[in-house]
Amino acid sequence: MVSNFSNGYYLTQLLVISHGGDRAIMRSDWLEQYQMKYSDTRPLVMKIQNRHIPVYGEFSVPEQVLAVPEDVFESLDVSSDDLSNVLLAKEETVDSLIRMNMIAVENGSA
Amino acid at 110: A
Residue 109 lies in a domain: no
Domain count, the chain: 1
Q: Is residue 15 part of a domain?
A: yes
> Nearest Cα to 93, choosing from 39, 51, 57?
39
Q: In a 10 Å sphere around its CB, with 0-12 CB exposed, 13-18 middle and 19+ buried, how is residue 101 labelled?
A: exposed
Instruction: Tell me, yes or no, whether 108 lies in a domain.
Output: no
The mean pLDDT value for 19-48 works out to 89
Domain that holds residue 81: 3-99
Domain containing 42 — which CATH number? 2.40.40.20
Q: Is residue 91 included in any domain, yes or no?
A: yes
Check residue 80 and report its DSSP letter: T
In a domain, 105, yes or no: no
- Whether the per-residue pLDDT at 110 is higher than 50: the answer is no
Average confidence score pLDDT of the chain: 90
In-domain check, residue 89: yes
Give domain status of residue 85, yes or no.
yes
39 pLDDT tier (thresholds 50, 70, 90): confident
Whether pLDDT at 109 is above 50: no
Say yes or no to pLDDT of 104 above 90.
no
